[in-house]
Amino acid sequence: MVGIITYGVYIPRYRIKVEEIARVWGANASDITGGLGVFEKSVPDMDEDAATIAVEAARNALRRRAINPEEIGAVYVGSESHPYAVKPTACTVGEAIGATPVMTAADLEFACKAGTAGMQACMGMVKSGMIKYGLAIGSDVSQGAPGDALEYTAAAGGAAYIIGNDDPIATINHTCSFTSDTPDFWRREGQDYPRHGGRFTGDPGYFKHVKGASRLMFEQMKTTAKDYTYAVFHQPNAKFPQKVAKDLGFSMEQIKPGLAVPRLGNTYSGASPIGLAATLDIAKPGDHIFVCSFGSGAGSDAFDITVTDAIKDKINRAAAPSVEKLLANPIYLDYARYAKHKGKLVMQA
Amino acid sequence: MRDVAVIGIGCTKFGEHWNRSFRDLFVEAGALALEDAKMSGEKIDAMYVGNMSAGRFVEQEHIGALIADYAGMASRHIPSTRVEAACASGGLAFRQAVIAVASGMEDIVVAAGVEKMTDVEPGASTDALTGAADREWEGFVGATFPGLYAMIAKDYMHKYGMTREQLAHVAVKNHYNGARNPIAQFPSEITLDTVLKSTMVAEPLRLFDCSPITDGAAAVIVAPLERAKEFTDTPIKVLATAQASDSIALHDRRDISTLDASVAAGQRAFRMARLTQKDINMVEVHDCFSIAEICAIEDLGFCKKGTAGKFTADGETALGGKIPVNTSGGLKSCGHPVGATGIKQVCEIVTQLRGDAGRRQIENAKIGMTHNVGGTGATVAVHILGRV
């Protein structure tokens, strides 16, 4: 049955605290930490971008399970911060892990859910027999304009999933999506930073679509929140996933392992894939995992996943760092060095 | 002049109506008012609509014709007029309707108010609202409405020694009332702590001192009192209509923490109705900011200048107090769709006088008052309504 063969995550080691950003803009940090439930966010190094993060995540996936990279027939990288507007990140990743040239590749964009959209595409190709393995990655060095509310959460990180049929560590029993044309958040060609519709991103954006896809999953799988061991939701902040989980009947215990955002920030395309990875890091055979991503624009992909015995003997989870390990021991930056890392300071050639 | 009565009221839920348009809102309010008056639209002779800034909020002008058209009146070619006086647009639309009927010119007249504010970003709505102040002398130099009312609050607290906690009681009381009003935008009870720990907006005003950005519409139908029984068993008589103006800029006022236009309109209304403050059972005042309610209840004469903070903290303006203020939840909790607010105030008083206010009902309510302010007090409309 189609499922996850292996997975890997990469998070840059640098962090900036919400207090430090608030200090620069004269905002009250406790209003922000209290309102969003985010305390710090990851920051890429100066030479890190969505492509390097995708490569690191893919390599971490391969460290855990030694599959032949030449058997990866498709590479999809979902991001809204692809380093090139034209020239695929997916080719860089494919080359770096030795999957080229007999493979198809493409970059995907669906705000924060392009990573899970890639997983669905790989599932389809694996199930139809077109490919043996597909690699789907969600990776972002998220953009938030200086002074904008997004600046407190826009973070960097990514997760990679190899999808296949042979001895998956977790079967993906079903996936379904809920999509509409909703302008809650956007960035036009040539613009440096995205814009958002303020409070409009909440109810008509996140909550409508996450609940839409989640309820569709309950209906199609004849399940309720109580049937799952864990649940992972897209986490632009800590408040939204906790609220939607509660509204759908999940407990805080179910979502806790996959809620990385308080110490990580919003890694956009990486967010739900990293949340799922953090859950797989601690999962046992038989655990039943619910996942629902969200991308502005807007849509959600839901997944019903069951962890198999293969998680014990077919992969070596310790061969690559867990999400917990990647979050531990950070290096904190002040705003000036953060600005340098994020390319917000324009330097002379 | 003929006596005038309110024979029908209708109000949409106030809030963020992202899936509904400007016209959807006033059509719903109008339909509710017609249903309430048990009449069909064919009886309507004229319409007045209060709207501050549809041009800025939804890029639509020519609201008079639009509202008549979408109310199904286009083929009847009735006169329909937009009235604009910033946040007092609704109060003035009601006054125009009352005058039209009182004069004998028209019989059945709709007074409506509508504002759709959430289709633009918060910065754009704040700027549109700044048009209610003096753009050249206030807006262009950076003043916003929270800033202007913060100056009123600072001046007031300096002169009269009102405490920050006393000011917070205004919001706590209005949220208590709003929690009992099914149309309220924020129908939740809050504590003093909620106010005192909320985000600072413009010192000393915090988030919970400020009314929200709101979509909503309200409509009332007025008729000659002698015909009112054709439509309703409980007509509510308009006992007084008054309006006053003042300098548009705050800094040109005689005293920035007294709204002289409120004083003038209040006195005119009491004179016209031959009533005093003691006769009023409840009043809807314009609490766009908590300090505005403090000034209003003094300017209308319900308590002495400088004492409204203590008066409020002592519970005298709460349900069951000496003079219940803003039983609807006020602009703070019920919401403030600018052009609709003055009409919503009339709807609330009519609801109270009919005895239909449920858990926020004032017992044995016979006479109520509305007070609707434009800008920082450059226009004020005051109405007194009573049971027949």
| Residues B320, B370 within the same domain | yes
How much of chain B, in percent, has pLDDT values that exceed 70?
100
A234 has catalytic annotation: yes
Q: How many domains does chain B have?
A: 2
The minimal CB distance from B199 to the residues A31, A198, A204 is found for A31
Average pLDDT for A106-112: 97
**Active-site residue identified among A40, A80, A176, A292:** A80
User: Looking at residue A347, what is its pLDDT?
Assistant: 72
Q: Are residues B47 and B195 in the same domain?
A: no
Cα–Cα distance for residue pair B229/B241, rounded to 1 Å: 22
Quick one: A38 and A63 in the same domain?
A: yes
Residues B202 and B58 in one domain: no
Q: Is B44 part of a structural domain of the chain?
A: yes
Cβ distance of A203 and B18 shorter than 8 Å = yes
Q: What per-residue confidence (pLDDT) applies to B336?
A: 98
With CB atoms and an 8 Å threshold, state whether A199 touches B19. Answer: no
Q: Is residue A306 part of a domain?
A: yes
Dihedral pair phi/psi, residue B314, rounded to 5°: -75, 0
CATH of the domain at B94: 3.40.47.10
So what's the pLDDT on residue A349? Answer: 67
Chain A CB contacts of B212 under 8 Å are none
Q: Max alpha carbon distance in chain B (Å)?
A: 59
**Residue B215, phi then psi, degrees to nearest 5:** -100, 140
Same domain, B226 and B273: no
Determine the Cα–Cα distance for residues A162 and A165; give it in Å rounded to an integer.
10
- 3-state SS assignment for residue A148: coil
Residue B127 lies in a domain: no
Q: Are residues A142 and A11 in the same domain?
A: yes
pLDDT on residue A298: 97
The span from the CA of B112 to the CA of B135, in Å, is: 27
Residue of A nearest to B207 (CA): A31
Contact criterion met (CB below 8 Å) for B380 and B261? yes
Residue A25, chain B, CB below 8 Å: the answer is no
SS3 content of chain A, % helix, strand, coil (to 5): 40, 25, 35
Burial class (CB in 10 A: 0-12, 13-18, 19+), B106: buried
- Residue A112 DSSP code: B
Q: What is the pLDDT of residue B89?
A: 98
B271 is written with which tokens? 């004179």
CA distance B28 to chain A (A): 22
Choosing from B336, B347, B371, B383, which is the catalytic residue?
A: B336
Residue B172 resides in a domain? yes
**ipTM higher than the 0.95 cut:** no
* Closest residue on chain B to A196 (Cα): B121
Q: What is the pLDDT of residues A215-268, one digit of tens each?
A: 999 999 999 999 999 999 999 999 999 999 999 999 999 999 999 999 999 999
* Partner-chain contact A203 B122, CB within 8 Å: no
Q: Are residues A177 and A165 in the same domain?
A: no
CA of B213: which chain A residue's CA is closest? A199
Does pLDDT of A47 surpass 70?
Answer: yes
Per DSSP, A308 falls in state -
**DSSP annotation of B236:** E
| pLDDT more than 70, % of chain A | 100
Q: Are residues A187 and A70 in the same domain?
A: no
Model pTM?
A: 0.86
Tell me the residue range of the domain where A113 lies: 3-169+320-341
B352 CB neighbour count, 10 Å cutoff: 26
Question: Are residues A161 and A189 both part of a single domain?
Answer: no
Whether A153 and A8 share a structural domain: yes
Which residue matches tokens 């107090």?
B321
Residues B247 and B227 in one domain: no
Residue B244: how many CA atoms within 13 Å on its side-chain side?
Answer: 19
pLDDT of residue B374: 98
Q: How confident is the model at residue A296 (pLDDT cuts 50, 70, 90)?
A: very high
Mean pLDDT of A133-138: 98
How far is B346 from B369, CA to CA, in rounded Å?
8
pLDDT tier at A11, thresholds 50, 70, 90: very high
Contact with chain B for residue A180, Cβ under 8 A: no
Q: Examine the domain organization and report whether A180 and A305 are in the same domain.
A: yes
> Does the structure show a pLDDT above 70 at A151?
yes
Nearest-Cα distance to chain B for A28, in Å, is 8
Report the pLDDT averaged over residues A332-349: 90
In a domain, A349, yes or no: no
**E strands, chain B, in order:** 4-11, 46-50, 80-83, 109-116, 200-202, 205-206, 215-224, 236-245, 282-284, 367-374, 379-387
Q: Per-residue pLDDT for A138 more than 90?
A: yes
Contact at 8 Å (CB) between A47 and A104?
Answer: no
Among A40, A91, A112, A176, the active-site one is A112
Q: What is the pLDDT of residues B135-186, one digit of tens each?
A: 999 999 999 999 999 999 999 999 999 999 999 999 999 999 999 999 999 9
pLDDT band per the 50, 70, 90 thresholds, residue B267: very high
A223 touches A292 (CB < 8 A):
no
**Cβ–Cβ contacts within 10 Å for residue A88, how many?**
18
State CA B272 to chain mean position distance: 20
| pLDDT score for A348 | 74
* Structural domain harbouring B31: 4-121+214-236
A266: CATH: 3.40.47.10
Nearest to A199 among B16, B19, B199 (CB): B16
Inside any domain, residue A347 = no
